[in-house]
Structure 1
Amino acid sequence: MAWIIQLHNAFPNKIFLLFISIVIPTTVEYTTGIIMRKYFNKDYWDYFNERYNYKGIICLRFSIAWTIISILTIEFLQPFLIIRIYSIVKPIWPILAILLIILLTFDEVYTLIKFKNKGQINLK
């Protein structure tokens, strides 16, 4: 979805949005399906019984569904959430940013200590 948002922001055209809303989700679904089959021997979804399927991994019906969901998300949900979240976060952002940096630093140090104690890394 982030790719669609970024591309739509760069090229705000309805036809282009339709195109990337078809191509990106279908490509992600196909790639994920191939990886799941190859590395995990799993099929988490099976479109063999669907019309116009390809290798049972993608099909026209679900590509259309992903396209509609993507367009609705980009056109309506994402702008609404951005406005809501921005209005909540903007007043507290300076404090929140400092807290996040402190938490990330603490997590990094804690992780390095754990790895060192397990002998997985050598801190010299």
Structure 2
Amino acid sequence: MKLALDPFDRSVLGIALCLAAIIAGLLLLGDHVGAAVLGVAPTAADRPAVTTAIRITFAQPMDTASVEAHFAIEPPVGGHNHWDGNTFVFQPNRPLLPNTPYTLSLTADTLSLTGQRTLQSVHWIISPR
């Protein structure tokens, strides 16, 4: 016995097959958005005080150890890290040197708590006043 589908049933079946193909594609391709950095402070355009804290704000909760391991400041400066919600804060132990360019970076592959990675490195330069 042959099962005949009316036009409505064929439409529903076609939509279901399209949705299944889209879901399969998403599962195969994976996440291309990654963990997002919403902003940094101070920015390259700022002339921050020598006692400024460095802040990186993320769109989602991050793996704190991963962020701390991927953060760098050049020339090297001692300091301590803490978190304010989704914002990583680096507070230097001593005032930064005035009129000295500091290169700040967060390298790619920093992990969020859900396992997403930052897809691009973030680099910026500040020169305290």
Question: Given the two structures, how large is their TM-score scaled by the length of structure 1?
Answer: 0.22
Flag the structure with higher helix content.
1
Q: Which structure's CA Rg is the greater one?
A: 2
